[in-house]
Amino acid sequence: MAKKSEPARPKRTSGPRAPAGKHALTVIISEKTIEEAKVKAIRDRTNVSRVTEELLDGWLSGFYRLKQ
């Protein structure tokens, strides 16, 4: 009797899965900035993803402006 084949499983990527409606974003910044951001996020009881999203939303809405 032939075995039933199992459906192919999707490839797993490293790291946590993004919640519904969210996608991963890769940025290239200094190691020092990453380390400091992680430490401050922990102290502020948040995470770097939330900080990044809020800053990007503020920049897109015109609330934050980049230094010249």
What would the pLDDT profile of 2-60 be if each residue is shown by its tens digit?
A: 666 777 776 666 666 788 889 999 999 999 999 999 999 999 999 999 999 999 999 99
The pLDDT value recorded for residue 2 is 61
The pTM of the full predicted model, rounded to 2 decimals, is: 0.69
The pLDDT value recorded for residue 57 is 97
Dist CA 58 CA 65 (whole Å): 9
Higher pLDDT, 30 or 1: 30
Residue where the block lists tokens 């020092």? 32
The pLDDT value recorded for residue 56 is 96
Q: Where are the domains of the chain?
A: 31-61
- Measured CA to CA in angstroms, residue 47 lies from 36, 54, 68 at distances of 12, 11, 28
Structure-token pair, residue 21: 């409606």
Please spell the DSSP secondary structure of 21-54, one letter per residue: T---------HHHHHHHHHHHHHTTS-HHHHHHH
